[in-house]
Structure 1
Amino acid sequence: MCGMLGGLLLSAVLIEGKIYFSETFGEGWQQRWRLSTWKEGHAEKMGKWQTSAGKWYRDEVEDAGLQTAEIMKFYAISASFEPFSNEGKELIVQYQAKYEKDLACGGGYLKLGPSTEDLSKFGDSTKYNIMFGPDQCNAEKRTHLIFRYGGRNFLKKAELPYKQEGEGLSHLYTLHLKPDNTVRVLVDLDKIYEGSLKDDWEMLPPREIADPKDQKPSDWLDEEMMEDPADVKPPDWVESKMMVDPKAGKPEEWDDEEDGEWDAPKIENPNFKGPWLPRKIPNPDYKGTWKARIVPNPDFSDDPDLYKYSDIGYVGFDVWQVKGGTIFDNIIITDSLKEAEDMAQKWKALREVEDAAKKNEDEAQAKAFEKAKAARAARSKENKAGDTKNEKKDEL
């Protein structure tokens, strides 16, 4: 797995790369990040942040990240950096997310946006350029990848698969945006998507459309089947479900003037066959489903710069979480593929420790389960033996 990122990402090597932002949440992180108060007047809804390495780690200090510390809260925090443009450059956004416990419902994504003078109000309504990372609410799970273009946010037409599985395990998210408008997404160094902004985000109008002037001919028949004109309802076909009871007679004491007109009671018709429908036969004049001819879209205009953002100046987390406990770490924003790969080694070293710990925990739980199962079986056997002994005493 360690060579996967190199094999996938090193398709273009930059002579000179630059790290625009990097954060491992070591000493002084509080000065680099700004807590948000966007839920003004509802401070009780904003969750607290803390640093933690989680229950499994290689080095408690080195592996400490930024953690959501409470349940049922909104979390919003961001950091600014010197604004830059990705024009003509690779853009790699990479970070770790570890769910210490299943969120049930909540996000684990980050936002990358334009420079903002006051990030104290960073939150749901703040404009962003890119939103990237896992999101879930019960059974609905996805990896978000949203790009802003022309003042609108565009979701990928088909959702990216969700890969944030396993409590206590760190996952590495890598977004690689290229000047040729192609996108590559990796989770845990494995590629889960590679494609084009033009094809998969519908940022541009379609190149071709159905001709609005093309109308279906009035004599066009698009019904494949038709009623058989030769099929006639049989003369003895009975469609009435109910019939007058032939055995019923008006009572002798019935007075039409006082009691009104007498109606004979009805019973189910024994000859009822249901509504008659003529059989269907193929329509000899059927021409198929009509479709308007396809013509070039006059509103289509290509844009070779879909990928480009002239102003990138902050990164932040703005999420809602039911259970909390998520740890974010090792964020890097760069145009250097090698720098992203180097940062990924931190995740790889940590994940090896987490996988080993998870395996040990699973094995211990399995042994404990089997031990408890054996103990229950032994108690059941003793109880049955005791019952048999008592039954023999009763017989004596």
Structure 2
Amino acid sequence: MMCFKAIIALLTIGVISAEVFFEEKFENENWKNDWIYSKHPGKEFGKFIHSAGSFFNDAEADKGIQTSQDARFYALSKRFDGFSNEAKPLVVQFSVKHEQNIDCGGGYVKLFDCSLDQTDMHGESPYEIMFGPDICGPGTKKVHVILSYKGKNHLINKDIRCKDDVYTHFYTLIIKPDNTYEVLIDNEKVESGNLEDDWDFLAPKKIKDPNASKPENWDDKATIPDPDDKKPEDWDKPQHIPDPDATKPEDWDDEMDGEWEPPMVDNPEYKGEWQPKQLDNPNYKGAWEHPEIDNPEYSPDDNLYLRKEICTLGFDLWQVKSGTIFDNVLITDDIELAAKVAASVKDTQSGEKKMKELQDDVQRKKDEEESKKNTENHDEEDDDDDDENVDSKNESEDNGHDEL
């Protein structure tokens, strides 16, 4: 019985300890009262509008903030009670919808400590975490995971591909106290690993022994030229020869045009540069590997995961073509809660696709009718031109009869 009570107590503690540090669903226009635009000099920042976009699953529930001006930087942030993720997971999650079929622009968020001056936030402002999709042309379609360590930003060493369609997608970053991480898109894990292995936070554990070098007599050539192989006497042939089928043009004048020479063509007998055949090298020792030693500059850190203070979330990005909608922002230590929130994405995408298909069908019919109308107008113009030509001809004939 005591054991059962202990289990219940532990479960209760676990439930109580789970926290939501920040949540923003942009449910109404009041979001403008809490979010602050940067006024950093030298840049004209774009504005966000409250919208569910042109196609959606739920007209109200799907409203977020949407970039509204092309070719602009955006700098918007909101402060909340500061927290540390010491000894607990950190989950950063939000949804992105590039309904404009984005060609070049960011869709990520940044997390800052409490020292950020929100009215002066800009691209060089120090941050703790940068996470989310970034697209620019066909070559850049990645999920950024950048973590700050000792004042320097470190980009993940892995290439994580983001979604590049026009529908809503949830992006989730989970950082755990055991220095492991996961990246999920639409509740499906797309990458995971160890912070030390996948970021260059620390010096390498091993380095090449500076006192070691390849022995002078080390032979790392797998093959050697056959010393008994000789070049055939008839090997050397010119690469190009005069075209044997060419003849001097009949109108060629040697005095005027100079001495005629046939054009050059590839020589079918040309064999290229002669190389002796190769034999296995009896002295081959394999590729020499530089021995490694423990790196004296390596120092392990069990707190790579730790963010001592986070209290501001910002959208600090550039977009060539606007229209991206951000929504469902969640920062918590509750992994299960984040998964439940992101589970709604399938229904959202299904509703968006149905509405967009209907819109596309209407537009397609409209385009067909417009094209048909233009064709009919063109045909009518051609008929009018024909009538005018006939009238002109008849008028000319009538004038001719009058003269007669």
TM-score between both structures, scaled by the size of structure 2 = 0.74
Report if aligned partners of 2:186, 2:343 keep a CA contact under 8 Å in 1. Answer: no
Shift in CA distance, 313/239, structure 1 to aligned 2, threshold 3 Å: same
Helix, strand or coil at the partner of 1:55: coil
Distance in 1 between the 2:316 and 2:107 partners? 9
Q: Matched residues in 1 for 2:130 and 2:186: separation? A: 18
Q: Decide whether the 8 Å contact of 1:116 with 1:314 is kept in 2.
A: no
Tell me the equivalent position of 2:20: 19
Please tell me the residue identity of whatever aligns with 2:121. Answer: F
CA displacement at 1:193 relative to structure 2? 1.7
Does the CA contact (< 8 Å) of 2:134 and 2:142 recur in 1? yes
How far residue 320 of structure 1 moved from its aligned partner, in angstroms, is 1.0
2:359 aligned with 1:357: no
| Residue 201 (structure 1) aligns with | 199
1:334 CA displacement = 1.4
Q: Which residue of 2 aligns with 1:34?
A: 36
Task: Provide the residue aligned with 1:293 in structure 2.
Answer: 291
Partner of 2:310: 312
After TM superposition, the structure 1 = structure 2 runs for residues 200-219 of structure 1, keeping only pairs within 5 Å, are 200-219=198-217
Matches within 5 A, 1:104-253: 104-139=103-138, 140-165=140-165, 167=166, 169-234=167-232, 238=236
Matching of residue 97 in structure 1 with residue 90 in structure 2? no
1:321 aligns with 2:319: yes
Cα distance change, pair 226–54 in 1 and its aligned pair in 2 (3 A): same
Distance apart, 1:236 and its partner CA: 6.2
Identity %: 40
Distance 1:117 1:42, change over 3 A: closer
Report 1:245-264 matches (<5 A).
Answer: none
Q: 1:58 to 1:102 in 2, by over 3 A?
A: closer
Change (3 A) 1:213 1:367: farther
Q: Is the 8 A contact 1:239 1:276 kept in 2?
A: no
Q: Is the alpha carbon distance of 1:272 and 1:191 closer, same or farther for their aligned partners in structure 2, counting shifts above 3 Å? A: closer
Question: Secondary structure in 2 aligned to 1:56?
Answer: coil
Check conservation: 2:95, 2:327, Cα contact below 8 A. yes
Q: CA deviation at 1:350?
A: 3.3
Equivalenced residue count is 338
Aligned to 2:390: none
Provide closer, same or farther for how the CA distance between residues 78 and 231 of structure 1 changes in structure 2, counting only shifts above 3 A. same
Equivalent position SS for 2:354: helix
Query: 1:6 aligns to what?
Result: none
Q: Distance in 2 between matches of 1:272 and 1:353?
A: 68
- Measured against aligned partners, the alpha-carbon deviations of 1:297-348 in whole angstroms (never above 9, x if no partner) come to 2222111100001111211111111111001112111122354345436655
Classify 1:341/1:235 alpha carbon distance in 2 versus 1 (closer, same or farther; 3 Å).
closer
Asked if 1 retains the 8 angstrom alpha-carbon contact of 2:47 and 2:74, the reply is yes
Deviations 1:355-387 (A, max 9, x none): 332454566678889x89xx9xxx9xxxxxxxx
Instruction: Tell me: CA distance 1:220–1:341, structure 2 relative to 1, closer, same or farther (3 Å).
Output: closer
3-state DSSP of counterpart to 1:232 = coil
Instruction: Confirm or deny: 8 A CA contact 1:14 1:337 kept in the other structure.
Output: no
**Partner Cα distance (1:323, 1:294) in 2:** 50
Secondary structure class of the residue paired with 1:357: helix
Once the two structures are TM-superposed, the CA of residue 54 in structure 1 deviates from its matched residue by 0.7
Aligned equivalent of 2:69? 70
Q: Provide closer, same or farther for how the CA distance between residues 236 and 337 of structure 1 changes in structure 2, counting only shifts above 3 A.
A: closer
SS of the counterpart of 1:213? coil
Root mean square deviation, CA, Å:
3.3
Whether the aligned pair in 2 keeps the contact of 1:238 and 1:273 (CA below 8 Å) is yes
Name the amino acid aligned to 1:333.
I
Sort the Cα spacing of 1:78 and 1:219 in 2 relative to 1 into closer, same or farther, 3 A. same
The runs of 5 or more residues in structure 1 that have no matched partner are: 1-11, 244-264, 380-396
Give distance in 2, aligned partners of 1:194 and 1:272: 56
State the AA in 2 paired with 1:223: K
Structure 2's unaligned 5+ residue stretches are: 1-12, 242-260, 377-404
Once structures 1 and 2 are overlaid, which stretch shifts more, 64-73 or 19-28? Answer: 19-28
Q: 276, 279, 282: which is aligned to 1:284? A: 282
- Matched letter for residue 32 of structure 1: D
Point out the more displaced range, 49-58 or 270-279: 270-279
Asked if 1 retains the 8 angstrom alpha-carbon contact of 2:141 and 2:164, the reply is no
Q: Which residue of 1 aligns with 2:257?
A: none
After superposition, the Cα gap between the structure-2 partners of 1:55 and 1:221, relative to the gap in structure 1 and judged at 3 Å, is same
**What is the identity, as a one-letter code, of the residue corresponding to 2:77?**
S
Secondary structure of 1:198's aligned partner: helix
3-state SS of paired residue (1:303)? coil
Give the whole-Å Cα distance in 2 for the aligned partners of 1:222 and 1:341: 55
Distance in 2 (alpha carbons) for counterparts of 1:206 and 1:304? 15
Kept in 2, the 8 Å contact 1:241–1:272? The answer is yes
